[in-house]
Amino acid sequence: MSFMFFLVAAAVVGIDQLTKHAVATHFLPDESRIVIPHVLWLTYVQNHRGAFGLFGSHPLLLAAFALAVVLVFYYWYRQDGATLLTHVAFGLILGGALGNIIDRVRLAYVVDFIDFKTTGFPVFNVADSCINIGVALLLLRIIVHERRQKAAPAASGAIDPQAAPDGAPLPERSPVEP
């Protein structure tokens, strides 16, 4: 099933790079076009900063940091159980990170273009979306896993310290009177 991890990552990188290339080819920097009136615009932004415009404009430092994060996630992926959800989530994160690293190394900035102007949210791209979706899937997996672990002792017949050796509840004791 690990092929799913690499398949998702490769698909994300491909779609991300194709969409960025299309925008950079057909738009001037800071040009904006309406896709859905009052909701969605395509705006070509050359983002020299980190995620959501943070961390200054040091492309190689940002690329190195992103690569370090990718390596940490990959290590975590290798340690984690092999569920389809995990493979897809880590594939989305890796593909998104690599898509932005390619831009940073090749262009010294990241091409952003998805713009919900009315929300005030920063302009972003396919890679950013995939990273966020991947992280959300991992959080969902962690929550589900923790709930299953909490439910497992009850379902497995864990020993209740208030039960008799045969598992039957102990009779209530009346208080001892002096």
Q: Which two tokens stand for residue 148?
A: 């299953």
DSSP state of 57: S
Longest dimension (CA), the chain: 93
Query: What ranges make up the beta strands (E) of 40-131?
Result: 40-47, 110-115
- The label of the residue with tokens 């208080």 reads 175
| Helix, strand, coil abundance in the chain, percent, nearest 5 | 60, 10, 30
> Collapsing DSSP states into helix, strand and coil, what is residue 81?
coil
Give the other-Cβ count within 10 Å of 87's Cβ: 21
Active centre residues (catalytic): 112, 128
